[in-house]
Structure 1
Amino acid sequence: MTKVRAHFKTASVHTTLLITVVITSLPFYWAAQTSIKFTRDTIRSEPTLWGFDITADPYRKFWFVDKDQNMWQIGLFFLILIAIISFLLVVRRRFETTWPFTLAVTGALWASLIVFPLLFEMNREFDFFVNSITVTIMTVVISISIGLLAGYGLARYSGISGAMILILALGFRALPRTAFVLPYFIVAKELGILDSRLVIVLALVAINQPFTIWMLRSFFMEIPREIEEAAMVDGATRLQAFRMVVIPMMWPGIIATSLFTMLLAYNEFLFVRVLAVTEWTLPVAISALAGGDSAVSVTEAAATSVSITLPIVIVVITFQKHLVKGLGAGAIKG
């Protein structure tokens, strides 16, 4: 009887998870299949979810100035890029540390963003995509750098003042974002940095920094002080112990926090829409396309939605092991 209950419980959990996955995946599936449809299929009175003719025209029209751009040339470009990254993955074992590999992959990706518009004449939406990538990376790097130092200090030396800082940070994060839009707009206008990537990054760092500090502090709390003290007994300074002992143990937490910060920055709409007039990111560009009345606007908006989602999906899949470790270490529990 106990085994029957256990199997029934397991089956119930799996069924619930399967239903949840199907329901949450339907919007993305709808966007994906809409992005590869012909116009005639999008204006039918009875929409079809499968069994339709496939085309790459929505992607071609959205991304490229030349509406007749040969897709095989683009495929060849990405095939070469994938081959380079695969080669780096193969030779990664030869590196004694991981930072040369990370630097090489980052360099290859940035080089592709620079070379791609030189080979193909791109629409303005490619600039919006580059803005999204640039703003997201800068926000994550700055937020994690500040959050590591602040989280470590609040985890190791938290007294009454530390508790007050955490409470104030939490209260700041709990305020609605509309409360910060006008002050940031006025300050940016006075400083002459309105409609720039810099003001967007500064605003996103300020808004997301409390979240980053709280998450990283929870990871630091999981690391025993005795490990640092043992390193200091062996002759390391506190900074060396922090850099060479604590940080390597923090990698799952750093990656998990970086992924959450990346999602918050990558999907930001309100601040980008208010603080930027021309330097938009893709979420704002999607909103402009979604306002169209023609079927072409719908297919192009769907193609944009898929294009902006794929980088996030790839990053999450790549670091899913570290993400699971980070969540299991109690990052959300705080």
Structure 2
Amino acid sequence: MIPLNDIKLIGLSFSLCMLAACGDSKISAVKDTRLGGDEFTIGETLSKVKECKSTDWSSEIVNNSTVVTHICAVKLDDELLNASKKGELAALKTRAGLANISVTTALSQARSAHAEAVRFSQERSTQWARRVAEVDKRIEYIATEPRSQFISINGTALRRGEAPPDAAAWEARRSEHLVVANGEKEKLLAEIEAEKQKAQAAIDAALKQIDDATAWNEKYAQEIQRTYEVVAKEVGTYYDKSHTLKVKTTFRYREGGNAEPVSAALFIDDLEGRSAMPVYLMDPKRMREYLTYLTKNGMGMEAPRLFDERFPIENISGPDGGFRYKSSKPAT
């Protein structure tokens, strides 16, 4: 006779088996699906992926349909790890090489602004000289204009029988006109002087920007090298540690219908990374291709992003912007 406790355990085990069988039926339906008339089923194809050191299937209900997930725990060999590390360092080097774009751009813009300010000043100087010469010519004409027997004091032709202006009246008129002309010249010279100061201020501001950008250009070069070395060291430490890689492939399944691939993504240390077309569903030998593609620039460390975080100089936008250290003191 079987003891009562043993009967309970047998009943519980049977219930669990029934539940598992119920869940397995949907997983089995996905496994038995042939995509696009493939020779092998999804289950057969995934079972042939040699890069999986272990696999797991699970299912859940999402929006009235079943989502089945296949998890492949990847065998992370030295070849894949070293290639990923090499790609990470290459991406870091590229980011470091681009880091000085903002300061070199600022330097280029400052030089262009200086050249434009000098050109504008030279053009205006030519215009100013021409205007002053025109006023001087008019003043000289007024000062040397001879008294005429046929011109009235107002500068119009005398009418028949009209007496010409006497010498005193003529000279008085000349003096009045000279006062007006010289006043206009003084006003013009004052305007020119103000414009010269503005033009020179623009030139000086551009020169200051050139000096500032040049100084920051030198600091950038130093900080780029220092930050690159710091992050490169972090990359070495990161890749010396062990990491877990999993490829998760999800399928949507509806009762009476076919399974449809939904997504395929690489998880690194259980954090979702990049995704790509699951080419290994067409050919299990292409899992290596899939893994190589997703890890060619690194294995989730994002060294270029870390470079940006560690880089101590920031570019402040706006009219009063420029460059400054993120902290009060330069990083050491």
TM-score, length of structure 1 as denominator length: 0.24
Give the greater-gyration-radius structure (CA): 2
Q: Which has the higher strand share?
A: 2
